[in-house]
């Protein structure tokens, strides 16, 4: 699509708490506590918001320590706008910034849900299990059984 007829505008910015929560839930991601989001969003290393006719319809963020470790998070596009290459546009903006500013030895991770893995593979991301590594997670305040062995039943 040429830029003159492109109805989408990508802005380098961090969404407000309200926009962040709405975009996540609209796209089927979990909601986040407003207080937690208010603490997290200012710590974004690089963020983008995608607008359609002035309305935010997608976003993505990079978080991390600025030198050794980064994580791509909150990639989402409103369902009414999916299937148009917009997730690819968001990823290109985030990975482009990482390529410009992150040290060459930085480790960049993400969690790929479902078929999103195919998008991420296009940007050079690989399954950690193929490299004798496994991704793990813990949600604070989650199920009490998770704090012991680390394995879910």
Which band of pLDDT confidence, cut at 50, 70 and 90, is reported for residue 139?
Answer: confident
Give the residue ranges of DSSP H helices in 27-149.
Answer: 34-40, 86-101, 116-121
Residue 131 or residue 22, greater confidence: 22
Region of residue 52 (phi > 0: left; psi between -120 and 50: alpha; otherwise: beta): beta
Give the residues across from 72 on adjacent strands.
62
Give the Cα separation of 78 and 55 in Å (integer): 11
How confident is the model over 39-74, as pLDDT tens digits?
A: 999 999 999 999 999 999 999 999 999 999 999 999
pTM: 0.86
List 9's β-bridge partners, or say none. Answer: 51
Q: 77: closest CA among 43, 34, 48, 106?
A: 48
Task: Decide if 94 contacts 62 (C-beta within 8 A).
Answer: yes
Q: C-alpha distances in angstroms, 1 versus 5, 50, 86, 119, 135?
A: 7, 15, 12, 19, 37
Going by pLDDT thresholds of 50, 70 and 90, the confidence category of residue 32 is very high
Q: Which residue has the higher pLDDT, 78 or 143?
A: 78
Which tens digits make up the pLDDT trace of 101-125?
999 999 999 998 878 889 999 999 9
Helix (H) / strand (E) element for 20: namely helix 17-26
Give the integer Cα–Cα distance in Å for 40 and 63: 9
């Amino acid at each position: 699509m040429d830029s003159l007829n492109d109805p989408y505008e990508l802005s380098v910015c961090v969404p407000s708490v309200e926009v962040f929560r709405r975009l996540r839930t609209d796209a089927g991601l979990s909601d986040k506590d407003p207080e937690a989001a208010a603490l997290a969003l200012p710590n974004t290393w690089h963020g983008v918001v995608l607008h359609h006719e002035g309305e935010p319809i997608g976003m993505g963020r990079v978080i991390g320590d600025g030198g050794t470790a980064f994580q791509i998070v909150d990639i989402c596009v409103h369902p009414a706008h999916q299937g148009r290459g917009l997730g690819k546009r968001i990823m290109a903006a985030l990975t482009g910034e990482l390529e410009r500013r992150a040290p060459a030895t930085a480790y960049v991770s993400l969690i790929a849900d479902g078929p999103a893995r195919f998008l991420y593979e296009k940007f050079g991301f690989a399954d950690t299990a193929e490299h004798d590594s496994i991704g793990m997670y813990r949600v604070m305040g989650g199920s009490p059984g998770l704090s012991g062995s680390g394995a879910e039943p």
